[in-house]
Amino acid sequence: AQSVTQPDIHITVSEGASLELRCNYSYGATPYLFWYVQSPGQGLQLLLKYFSGDTLVQGIKGFEAEFKRSQSSFNLRKPSVHWSDAAEYFCAVGARGGGNKLTFGTGTQLKVEL
């Protein structure tokens, strides 16, 4: 069975600083990988996804993520954080041919200090 670990429950960064949110997955083959963002009381917005090909994936709002098979990781990065980036971030893994089911990590709460 697939699983996702987001080791950091909370992260605080200063506005303008760089950001990296960690995500490790467990899956027997190459998975589909996603990052979603959730603002308070809202649904999830897709930031980016990795299916195959280039392991560095660009997403919306200036985010990017890199798939590293050797480390089973899919960390999310942003070079300069904006106050509006404060939210909950979820990493998710989907099984190829697995009926589109997603397994979510526990999330990382990002706080941005002005």
Among the listed residues 16, 82, 106, 113, the single contact to other proteins using CB under 8 A: 106
Q: Which is nearer to other proteins, 29 or 114 (CB)?
A: 29
Query: For residue 109, what is the DSSP state?
Result: E
Closest separation between CB of residue 51 and other proteins, Å?
7
**Minimal CA–CA distance to 89: which of 41, 39, 32, 42?**
39
List of residues 6+ apart from 21 with CB closer than 8 A = 6, 8, 11, 35, 75, 76, 77, 89, 91, 108, 110
Among the listed residues 25, 27, 34, 35, the single contact to other proteins using CB under 8 A: 34
Site string for other proteins, 37-76 (x = CB under 8 A): ----xxxxxx--x-x-------------------------
